[in-house]
Amino acid sequence: MFIAKQALGTGTNGFHKATTDMQKMKRQRERSYKQKEKGAGNTVNHEDEEQLKAATFDKSLAKRMVETNIAGIQYCNLMTRCIRSILLEIDPTNPLLLIQPPDIELSSDGRRQADAPQTNTARVQNNSAAHHGSTLRKSRKTQYQSSTTKELIKFVGDHDDQGKKLTKKELSYRMFDFSRFRSLPSGKYVAAMVNPELCILARVVKDWIEVTTYHQIVGLTELERNALFKENVIVRNAEDYNGTLGATREVNREHILPLPLSWEEAREWGSRMTKGSRVFAMYPGTTSFRHASVVDYTTFCQGNDDIIVVEFDGDGEENDNIPQRHIPARFMTLIPQELKGSKRRPRKRKSTTQND
């Protein structure tokens, strides 16, 4: 009720009031200028808007408008925080809360600070843990110990057909392949590959429950597995999900990648993503998953979330400045090895020589 009153009521909407007040200031200044010019016997050219602006927009008016503009933007920041706090109470695990617009900060001259050119120092700070809100995992009060990884290893085995012990990377992919077959209850979040170039955050609309235990997965023949992967799963874009069948997609089970069901499971899955692992990670500020390579999987956290530091393909290639993004492990999954993106492509480097 508070938000509805503030946002929809024109008398209390701080942003609406700020923009209205700024228009009033300009009109008052224009009327004052026209009356002064008319009293002096001069003719005011009303058609030349730019000339009128130049004549009326002085330093004093600009200062008053900046102060009013700051008040309006502070109101927007307040509303954003209020809405997010309410959504956080309703569903603290909702991934849409990760799409957090930053507070719009104004410098002393009224310009958005984001408009100022970035220096090399600023870029370094933007890549720091503090900028991403991450803290050191070792400082977290709640320590975590794996509970199901050992159980899963018993079923999948940690040796190849020749009896050679698997590397950590090989073992992580073997466990990942088994998780791809698990059941998908309605309402759960998944990464859905809707086409070869687009992977989105989606929610399952209709239960897909074919296998429920490790025993069942292990017992599947290759023919049975291939048949399961050809079945369709009904999903809906996470931003539009409301539990109904409207505007849904049917996606082959092969192209549905399960996401961790909890913080605890995310920690286990994240612990398997060794440096250099190829992953689908949800790009900051969006609900789209992009190809990325893991840089650090052991150092950072954000509250209950373990953080995986990644470099996204194509990110920063235009200026050779590759940002390292901090992504919650809940919104990341290994890229299946049969896909082209499971191998990191060489980055394009700018040529340092010029052709004659």
The string of pLDDT tens digits covering residues 59-73 is 778 888 888 888 888
Say whether pLDDT at 194 is over 90.
Answer: no
DSSP string, 263-283: HHHHHHHHHT--TT-EEEEEP
Closest CA to 106 of 75, 60, 142, 151: 75
Convert the pLDDT of each residue in 157-177 to its tens digit: 888 888 899 888 888 888 888
Q: Cα–chain-centroid distance for residue 284? A: 3
CA distances to 108, 275, 289, 298 from 304, rounded to whole Å, are 37, 22, 22, 14
Closest CA to 210 of 220, 202, 197: 220
- Do the strands 256-258 and 249-252 form a parallel or antiparallel pair, or are they unpaired? unpaired
Q: What is the pTM of this model?
A: 0.63
Q: How confident is the model at residue 189 (pLDDT cuts 50, 70, 90)?
A: very high
Gyration radius (Cα) of the chain, Å: 27
Euclidean distance between CA atoms 166 and 159, whole angstroms? 5
Half-sphere exposure of 95 toward its Cβ, with a 13 Å CA cutoff?
Answer: 34
Residue 37 in tokens: 């010019």
Cβ atoms 263, 325 nearer than 8 A: no
What mean pLDDT comes out for the span 51-66?
Answer: 76
Say whether pLDDT at 274 is over 60.
Answer: yes
